[in-house]
Structure 1
Amino acid sequence: MPLGIKLEKKAELIDNTALANLKLYKYSSVDKSFISNHILRHYWNAAAELMPLWLAPNVITLIGLMFIYANVLCILIYVPDLVGPGPSWLYYSFAAGLWMYSTMDNVDGKQARRTGSSSPLGELFDHGIDSLNCTLGGLIETACMGLGPTPAGAFITLVSCLAMFFSTWETYHTHTLYLGYINGPTEGIIIACLLMIVSGIFGPQIWQLNLDEIIEVPSFLPESAAFIRVSDIFVLVVASAFFFAHLPFCVYNVYQARASKGKSFYPVLLEIVPFVWASVSVFVWLGSEYSDVLYKNHLVLFALTTSFAFGRVTTKIILAHLTLQPFPYFTILLVPIYIAPFLFWVLPRVFGVMTFVGKFEIMYLWAYFFFSAAYFLSWARIVINAICDYLGINCFTIKNPTKNK
């Protein structure tokens, strides 16, 4: 058993009370997207009908993630600098992989209902895979637009983690997964796929052109607007969508949920402090002039590492939601991120530039990767087995599949 699980033993223990609460859980979601409800719903239903009844929903979810890992492998082979350009087919494959991931992500629940195998484990597994995909999907978008290992590339790689965390925090308190009229899992995926197709047609260098090289800049904009790169506009739109749309609505919905129960809102703000602290730590770490993560292009490794660390954060919240447990503040997988600014920003400044910092940092990052992967997979095995044993189900096979009429 990894050291992390031992250190979190009390918090990780799934006792009989927690397991018993699984039987009280009822899935609740709201999706207001027009595209989801009136267009893609028919596509997803048709895709679900193609799935054999013996195929477990969690296997479908896992297949979707494999498309994303295949995309990441292609990045390592063809555009390891995250700039390129790579062959045209590569960007089309990015779009196909992301689309197939989205398809599997929506079909798995329908398959569960078709086969009568819906369970709380399905939600935990589904959203756990979504959590793993957050940084990886962003990494693929970074490679698609040729952003490279830059602050902009790092932001696009990691911003989905912020959105996913606050959605999960919102769901914990409202007990409903809320997707707005325009949301990331639907419209966001479509936009990302379209951008990847554009990169396949024109090459990723199109995103590095100035605005006036693409369109005629409106006269009411300042002259400097003509020299803004298209990729900078994209980053600005993504940042604005998160900070001015997604985040405020998550906070407001949690406020409303607390107010409806006559409970104070302000104490729950403490729940976001550890994650905000981790986000600031990442900003300081990657922004340090002594760090080589971006300077020597270790962004792919960083994304793979943080996918497991972030996946642990959200799955812990999801599990607490499913089992009606207190909100989990701590996971040991964030500790290396908390420490990193001290190691790669404070110490070099205090003791001067140390020649071994770069080598130590990459060893630190590799160690963090192996630890987080081993920890996450070990924890997943423990939790999945506990839930399966209690509910009398299998994770990757279906017991007596029956088609719901």
Structure 2
Amino acid sequence: LNLSLLPLPLPTWSTIPAEVLGYLYTPGLKPSSPLLKDNGYGNLWDPSTGSTAFAFSSGPRSDQSFRSARKPRKKSSRRDTVPRSLSILNLLSCNTKPPHDARKEEHRTLSPTMVYVRQDRLPALKEYKYSGVDHSLTSKYILKPFYTNVVINIFPMSMAPNLITLTGFMFVVANVLTLLWYNPTLDQDCPSWVYYSWAIGLFLYQTFDAVDGSQARRTHQSGPLGELFDHGVDALNTSLEVLIFAASQNMGQSWMTVGVLFSSLLTFYVQTWDEYHTKTLTLGIVNGPVEGVLILVGVYALTGYMGGASFWQQSLLRTFGVSEKLGIPESLYELSFTQWYMVQGALVLVFNTVESARNVIKARRARGDRSRGALLGLLPFFGMWVLIASYLLLHPTILRSHLVPFVMFAGVVNAYSVGQMITAHLVKLDFPYWNVLGLPLAFGVGDALGPKLQEYFGFGWPSALGDDVYQVAFMFLMLGMAIGVYGSFVVDVIVTICDYLDIWCLTIKHPWVEGRDGEGSAQVNGKKSQ
């Protein structure tokens, strides 16, 4: 508790006007309440109700009293308020439950550190309604019946949907830790059980990620926070799964791994950009979250069965017995399994990007906007990737020896952009073109570009970082900055939404009870269907 935020003197005290404590926005406190008393253990209680209102410490206090030093100030800005979550935590520490009517108030006091979402935009959260279309036949006839009839029954009704999502993500984190232990350079064969564990972990992640929506519907906890949380976890998983796939193919720290990263992040970015403009998440007959993940699961399992990732480096056509006498060019005939995958991935990437662009233009024209300005929303991604490619070209040491942490950095940068888009979609903000994480990357490019200009054109500037160790240290500094910025964004937006909607993120605050109106967050958050 930051006592500097309290408009009260700090000495020991036993009584205080209720209006002053009401300034702290303690749930259940009425302006007309009598003086609150100190119960001798550092807790204030209301004699009229016998309920504890606020707690400062756990030790006993003296019976000395003093008069209130001054009247509460008039709230003039956001920083004059104390987070609602603070008073809730104090209530929990006193074993008291906020009254039911406290969460029905239209106006809620939010965290004074709120910076990503302004309070005047928050009412849009109550207009939220999830819209999604999944055309996948695999999902319709195989996976959804499996999720509905088998998997969902494993989770208790008391388990929050977001906790299911986070638990599934932990399987991917475990896979990455295994990768870093057995194959940190992405070019070594691992024990067969490692590949099997990657397959199981990814399948469990897909399963948990798919049933969180069903859990939200049956517990009546559907809402905008669930969509934000789900997309945020998926965004982080995308870059981590690139590393695991590269290790399963022995791609090594190379431009091929960078190419897989580019296509994966672009696919996720374009899908989110599509949803921002069309207001609907559309998944095709064959899509990444369903068939794409299942293909990866099969690849991981087959890699373990074949004894290692070296299997994928041999010629695909020769492996399947295609004769060289058919006149196939040698360059095409010698393409490995991995290289054929890259060709197929490039074709799918172009198709999905063009299809999403058509969906966006069609949706905007249906609303009377015939301009193609929405396509400018793709510029932040490509602009960032110009910097990423330039940085790796100018720093070959990073590409050859430290690509794994750099991939994590690029993944967090993309997750931040995607998170901004989802937040803007939920609270109806303008499209977020700016990503502050491009600044350190631009500095790294500019720092290395000066010596190259001096070498080839005779003008430029010296490098401030030099070579080798300082460049590596700066790359890790960028990774730390990205984690810090993205972490602050995630915490701030989640706390802001939870404060406004009076919900919790990883637990169910207001369980739904059949036959009782108003119970559960579905009453204020809209509906979600998948």
Query: Aligning the two structures, in what range does the TM-score lie when normalised by the shorter sequence?
Result: over 0.9
Select between 258-267 and 10-19 the one with higher mean Cα deviation.
Answer: 10-19
Aligned to 1:5: none
| Pairwise CA distance, 1:335 | 2.2
Counterpart residue number, 1:358? 468
Return the alpha-carbon distance in structure 2 between the equivalents of residues 29 and 99 of structure 1: 22
Aligned equivalents of 2:442, 2:170: Cα separation in 1: 30
Distance 1:338 1:181, change over 3 A: farther
Give 2:274's match in structure 1, choosing from 157, 170, 176: 170
- 8 Å CA contact 2:239–2:265 kept in 1: the answer is yes
Which one of the candidate residues 126, 131, 140 is aligned to 2:244? 140
Tell whether 2:506 aligns with 1:385.
no
Report the AA paired with residue 380 of structure 1.
Answer: V
Q: Which residue of 2 aligns with 1:30?
A: 133
Report the 3-state secondary structure (helix = DSSP H, G, I; strand = E; otherwise coil) of the residue aligned with 2:222.
coil
SS in structure 2 at match of 1:294: helix
CA deviation profile, 1:308-359 (whole Å, cap 9, x unmatched)? 2111100100000011111111121222233333233x22312449793222
Alignment correspondent of 1:295: 400
Q: Is the 8 A contact 1:121 1:387 kept in 2?
A: yes
1:252 equivalent in structure 2: 358
1:221 to 323, 328, 334: 328
**Which whole-Å CA distance do the structure 2 matches of 1:172 and 1:263 have between them?**
15
For the 8 Å contact 1:95–1:193, the answer to whether it is kept is yes
| SS, match of residue 332 in structure 1 | coil
Q: TM-score, normalised by structure 1?
A: 0.92
In 1, are the aligned partners of 2:116 and 2:493 still within 8 Å (CA)? no
- Kindly report which structure 2 residues correspond to 1:114-133, keeping only aligned pairs within 5 A, or say none: 114-133=218-237
| Structure showing the higher helix proportion among its residues | 1
Question: What amino acid sits opposite 1:126 in the alignment?
Answer: D
Q: Residue 65 of structure 1: SS of its match in structure 2?
A: helix
Partner of 1:51: 155
Q: Deviations over 1:75-99 (max 9, x none)?
A: 1100111111010001111111111
Q: Which runs of 5+ in 2 are unaligned?
A: 1-111, 456-461, 516-530
* 335-344 or 199-208: bigger deviation: 335-344
Q: How large is the Cα RMSD of the aligned pairs? A: 2.1
Secondary structure at 2:133 match in 1 = strand
Q: Which residue of 1 aligns with 2:344?
A: 237
Worse overlay, 360-369 or 250-259:
360-369
Q: Describe the shift of the 1:158–1:135 C-alpha distance in structure 2 as closer, same or farther (beyond 3 A).
A: farther
Is 2:199–2:298's contact at 8 Å kept on the other side of the alignment?
yes
Kindly tell me: are residues 303 and 223 of structure 1, through their superposed partners in 2, closer, same or farther at Cα, counting changes over 3 Å?
Answer: closer
Q: 1:160 and 1:11 mapped to 2: Cα distance?
A: 32
The letter of the residue matching 1:27 is Y
- Amino acid across the alignment from 2:475: L
- The structure whose Rg is larger is 2
Q: Is the 8 A contact 2:380 2:434 kept in 1?
A: yes
Amino acid at match of 1:231: T
* SS of equivalent residue, structure 1 residue 30: strand
Equivalent residue of 1:393, what SS? coil
Kept in 2: contact 1:92–1:200 (CA 8 A): yes
TM-score, reference length from structure 2 = 0.71
Residue identity opposite 2:320 in structure 1: I
**Counterpart code for 2:139:** S
Q: Is the 8 A contact 2:116 2:492 kept in 1?
A: no
- CA shift in 2, pair 1:273/1:367, >3 Å: same
- Contact kept? 1:113, 1:404, Cα under 8 Å: no
CA contact (8 A) 1:135 1:158 kept: no
The Cα offsets for residues 114-148 of structure 1, whole Å up to 9 and x where unpaired, read as 11111100000000111111111111100111111
Query: What SS does the corresponding residue of 2:468 show, helix, strand or coil?
Result: helix
Query: How many angstroms apart in 2 are the aligned matches of 1:404 and 1:362?
Result: 58
Q: CA 1:379–1:348 in structure 2 vs 1: closer, same or farther (change >3 Å)?
A: same
Identity of aligned residues (%): 35
In 2: Cα distance, 1:38 partner to 1:212 partner = 33
* 2: CA distance, partners of 1:75 / 1:157: 17
Give the count of matched residue pairs.
Answer: 393
Does structure 2 retain, via aligned residues, the 8 Å contact 1:281–1:340?
A: no
Structure 1 ranges of 4+ moved more than 6 A? none
SS of match in other structure, 1:357: coil
Q: Give the deviation of 1:403 after TM superposition.
A: 7.4
> What is the CA-CA distance between 1:12 and the residue it aligns to?
4.3
Give the letter aligned to residue 124 of structure 2: N
Q: CA deviation at 1:150?
A: 0.9
Separation in 1 of the partners of 2:478 and 2:400?
19
State the shift of 1:278 in Å: 0.6
| Matched letter for residue 419 of structure 2 | T
**Structure 1 CA distance, aligned partners of 2:215 and 2:451?**
54
Structure 2 vs 1, CA of residues 233 and 348 (structure 1 numbering), >3 Å: closer, same or farther?
farther
The whole-number CA distance in structure 2 between the counterparts of 1:155 and 1:29 is: 29
| In structure 2, C-alpha distance between the alignment counterparts of 1:50 and 1:83, rounded to whole Å | 38
Letter of the 2:377 counterpart: E
Partner of 1:3: none
Amino acid at match of 2:294: I
Alignment partner, residue 170 of structure 2? 66
